[in-house]
Amino acid sequence: MIRYNYHTHTNFSDGKNSPEEVIQAAINLGFTSIGISDHAYTDFCTHWVTPRSRMDEYIEVLYQLKENYADKINVFVGIEQDAFSDPVSEKFEYAIGSVHWVKKGEKYIALDANRETLEHAIETYYDGDADALAEEYFALVASYAADPKISIVGHFDLITKFDEKGTPLFRPTPRYTAAWQAAAKKLLDAGKIFEINTGAISRGHRTTPYPSEEILAFLGEHGAKAILGSDSHSADTLDCAFLQAEELAKKYGILLVDLF
């Protein structure tokens, strides 16, 4: 079983536990490595991100914990970067590139807040055309191909978060498929590592990881490298559904790697 997790959140952003509690939980699970990757700052929505005023403290605390626990576990200092976040500091050892928002005019649309917000956005800002939103979303995800600071592509098809419950908002139409395949190819060509993300399982929204099996099959066919990440917002979900995710990687011939 995989013994690392580089996608975790603490109470510096929207996680439940302190960084030290997350590290101690990882040690108890027998992990060899743990990365802390709280949300980078966005100025238009501040309740779920690391405050800009605390970013230096966040970095300092993590590097101190890295030193304190060096004889027990490898601790890595990371950040989860959004397309609309502050730039990635050189002080981070890695960055996860994730897209949680699209922007229409001056309006930022949250993609993973709840189903109602996403349904309203599709109807109001995209005239009911879910494919149009998907095209904008995957174009933003693809933009990480050009960013050398981004190591990992987080929850590649996040927009499908609510599709298991109720009528799917996004279907495998030719436009939808073309959008994600174009993004995947661009990221693959740039050598980015994809994440098999189990976060929505731990929070009760899905029974399967991101990305979908269709996308996993495509990634396997194209020689993708991937890591597992539980997108943990609580110390007790660090290895959520990792066995399931490993089996999917094996099924589709995706090479699981360690980031460091």
CA dihedral sign of residues 13, 228, 180, 184: positive
CA dist., res. 224 & res. 184, Å (int)? 9
Position 129 scores a pLDDT of: 98
109: which 2 tokens? 């649309």
Structural domains in the chain, sorted by start:
4-256 (3.20.20.140)
Position 1 scores a pLDDT of: 85
CA dist., res. 155 & res. 209, Å (int)? 9
CA dist., res. 241 & res. 221, Å (int)? 23
Residues of the chain short of pLDDT 70, as ranges, are: none
Residue 189 CB coordination number (10 Å):
10
Residue 66 CB coordination number (10 Å):
19
* pLDDT tens by residue, 119-171: 999 999 999 999 999 999 999 999 999 999 999 999 999 999 999 998 999 99
